[in-house]
Amino acid sequence: MEKDRKIVVCGAGGFIGGHLIADLRRQGFTNLRAIDLRPQREWYQRFPDVENLVLDLQDKSNCFHALQGADWVFNFAADMGGMGFIENNRALCMLTVLLNTHLLMAARDVGVERFFFSSSACVYNADKQKSPTVVPLKEEDAYPAMPEDGYGWEKLFSERMCRHFREDFGLQTRVARFHNVYGPHGTYDGGREKAPAAICRKIIQGKLSGKHEIEVWGDGTRTRSFMYIDDCLKGVQMIMKSDIVEPLNLGSNELVTVNQLVDILEDIAGIKVKRNYKLDAPQGVNGRNSDNTKIKQYLGWEPSIPLRIGLEKTYAWIYDQMTATR
């Protein structure tokens, strides 16, 4: 793709969108437009040589403004967060459907070539995720539909919208189902953070205060896989450039329990902590892991950065942020 083609990243003030803008700049792309709802001072990454716009993309007219002249569009914009936010803000999560629908309408009408939608493993049938020793989830496990209430339903509906805009209007859409993305330059406090960042923050707080104990949501036995941001960026761009039109898993298959996640971060921090288990906290499904058969078959690649390596970098960045604040 020519380096001067117009690329629009929606949700660019957030974690993944900000990293994608940074990565595209490193590759030499010069015609970038970054869009987010938040004031620019609150963006995780912002660059002066990028066209930065503050727009509410739930408004249809703003979507047309955002996509004028666009060749490729990456949509990461969503009202979402970790499990605590998802379980307590289902209506807000569902309202994101306006955002993606209006972006699709604008992309169709202004002649966008390709449109990427960031879906989630929360679309998967809950009956497939009842055991911590979960069988890795295949793409077909999204049906019969029983996704995460609120957030998962919005993602599954928007996947269908992408499919039908491709079938009915010829808009080339690409969809990836993210499995727990983590890394630096993201949320680590305030209620929207996810498990890796939250546990980093808690252990750092314990280390700095000398009070070596943390609160763990649930009993620590639930299992997840966590994908480092660099793998996510590579996968997103490979999927966008490919001819694969069906939704693909994009996630690590390195399954760990929450307790094992804490173990790794204890070792990185060089301390041991007492774990106070909060059994009534939002916890999500018992187990979730990514089956990477299809992405390996189609693209000859899968996320491979070890959890330990990614956590070291994430912990170091959050530690720097917290000590700078202090």
**Do residue 280 and residue 204 come from a single domain?**
yes
**Do residue 173 and residue 318 come from a single domain?**
no
**Do residue 54 and residue 172 come from a single domain?**
yes
Q: What is the DSSP letter of 27?
A: T
In the annotation, is 151 catalytic? yes
Catalytic residue among 151, 182, 188, 315: 151
Residue 70 lies inside a defined structural domain of this protein: yes
- Return the number of other C-beta atoms located less than 10 Å from residue 89's C-beta: 18
Q: Which of 4-13, 75-84, 216-225 has the lowest mean pLDDT?
A: 75-84
Query: Closest Cα to residue 203, out of 286, 292, 274, 299?
Result: 274
How many domains does the chain contain in total? 2
Instruction: Note whether 8 and 33 are within 8 A (CB).
Output: yes
What pLDDT shows up at residue 326? 62
**Do residue 137 and residue 277 come from a single domain?**
no
DSSP string, 1-29: --TTS-EEEETTTSHHHHHHHHHHHHTT-
**Do residue 34 and residue 109 come from a single domain?**
yes
Mean pLDDT of 228-250: 98
**Phi, psi of 73, rounded to the nearest 5 degrees:** -130, 130
**Do residue 106 and residue 70 come from a single domain?**
yes
Q: What is the DSSP letter of 99?
A: H
To the nearest whole percent, how much of the chain has pLDDT over 90? 89
Residue 237 lies inside a defined structural domain of this protein: yes
Strand, coil or helix: 240? helix
Residue 296 lies inside a defined structural domain of this protein: no
Residue 236 lies inside a defined structural domain of this protein: yes
CATH number at residue 213: 3.90.25.10
Domain extent, residue 28, equals 7-182+228-250
CATH number at residue 170: 3.40.50.720
Q: Is 220 left (phi over 0), alpha (psi -120 to 50) or beta?
A: left
H or E segment at 140?
A: none
Partners of 7 in the β-ladder: 32, 72
Residue 129 lies inside a defined structural domain of this protein: yes
**Do residue 209 and residue 89 come from a single domain?**
no
Mean pLDDT of 234-243: 98
**Do residue 144 and residue 236 come from a single domain?**
yes
Q: Which residues contact 64 (CB under 8 A, 6 or more apart)?
A: 106, 109, 110
Per-residue model confidence as pLDDT tens digits over 32-65: 999 999 999 999 999 999 999 999 999 999 999 9
Residue type at position 63? C
Residue 89 lies inside a defined structural domain of this protein: yes
Instruction: Note whether 135 and 149 are within 8 A (CB).
Output: no
Q: How far apart are CA 281 and CA 151, in angstroms?
A: 18
Q: How far apart are CA 179 and CA 285, in angstroms?
A: 13
Q: How far apart are CA 26 and CA 49, in angstroms?
A: 12
Per-residue model confidence as pLDDT tens digits over 172-221: 999 999 999 999 999 999 888 889 999 999 999 999 999 999 999 999 99
Strand, coil or helix: 215? strand
**Do residue 51 and residue 91 come from a single domain?**
yes
Residue 299 lies inside a defined structural domain of this protein: no
Cα four-point dihedral sign 170, 172, 177, 181:
negative
pTM: 0.94
Q: What are the structure tokens assigned to 313, written together?
A: 């970098």
Q: How far apart are CA 121 and CA 115, in angstroms?
A: 19
**Phi, psi of 118, rounded to the nearest 5 degrees:** -90, 105
Query: Closest Cα to residue 117, out of 72, 150, 147?
Result: 72
Q: Is the confidence at residue 81, as pLDDT, over 80?
A: no
What pLDDT shows up at residue 28? 97
**Do residue 178 and residue 96 come from a single domain?**
yes
**Do residue 122 and residue 263 come from a single domain?**
no
Q: How far apart are CA 273 and CA 57, in angstroms?
A: 43
Q: Is the confidence at residue 325, as pLDDT, over 70?
A: no
Strand, coil or helix: 118? strand
Residue 60 lies inside a defined structural domain of this protein: yes
Orientation of helix 195-209 relative to helix 307-325, angle to 10°: 50
Beta strand segments in 125-205, E: 172-178, 181-182
Taking CA atoms, 85 is separated from 76, 80, 146, 189, 322, in Å, by 17, 7, 19, 12, 22
Q: How far apart are CA 20 and CA 230, in angstroms?
A: 9
What pLDDT shows up at residue 284? 81
**Do residue 246 and residue 269 come from a single domain?**
no
Instruction: Note whether 112 and 105 are within 8 A (CB).
Output: no
Instruction: Note whether 12 and 34 are within 8 A (CB).
Output: yes
